[in-house]
Amino acid sequence: LLHRVHIKEQMRAEIAKQVKEQVDSQIVEYIPVPLRQQAAEGKKQLEKVRASLHNSESRISNSNVDILNLDEALATVLTSEGTRSDYFPADLRSLLSYDNDATKKLVKDYGLVEAEESEMNIKRFLVHIGEQWAVGNVFSRLTYKGKPKV
Boundaries of domain holding 133: 32-148
Does residue 49 sit within a domain?
Answer: yes
* Helix or strand run (H / E) with residue 143: strand 143-144
- In this predicted model, what pLDDT tens digit does every residue of 29-82 receive, in sequence order? 777 777 788 889 999 999 999 999 999 999 999 999 887 888 999 999 999 999
Does residue 99 sit within a domain?
Answer: yes
Least confident span in 4-8, 45-49, 88-92, 143-147: 143-147
Residue 66 has what pLDDT?
A: 85
Does residue 13 sit within a domain?
Answer: no
Residue 141 has what pLDDT?
A: 52
Q: 100-119: b or e for each residue (b if 16 or more CB lie within 10 Å)? A: eeebbebbebbeeeebeebb
Does residue 4 sit within a domain?
Answer: no
The dihedral sign for the CA sequence 76, 73, 140, 63: positive
Q: ∠ CA(90), CA(114), CA(149), 5° rounding? A: 45
The dihedral sign for the CA sequence 119, 110, 52, 84: negative
pLDDT at 143 exceeding the cut of 90: no
Does residue 21 sit within a domain?
Answer: no
Exposed/middle/buried for residue 127 (C-beta within 10 Å: 0-12, 13-18, 19+): middle
Residue 93 has what pLDDT?
A: 92
Residue 109 has what pLDDT?
A: 97
pTM of the model: 0.68
Beta partners for residue 91, in sequence order: 73
- In this predicted model, what pLDDT tens digit does every residue of 99-124 receive, in sequence order? 999 999 999 999 999 999 999 999 99
Q: What is the number of structural domains in the chain?
A: 1
Does residue 103 sit within a domain?
Answer: yes
CB proximity list for 44: less than 8 A, separation 6 or greater: none
| Residue 146 pLDDT class (50, 70, 90 cuts) | very low
Does residue 97 sit within a domain?
Answer: yes
Give the ranges where the chain is alpha helix by DSSP (H).
2-30, 35-63, 92-97, 100-109, 118-128, 135-142
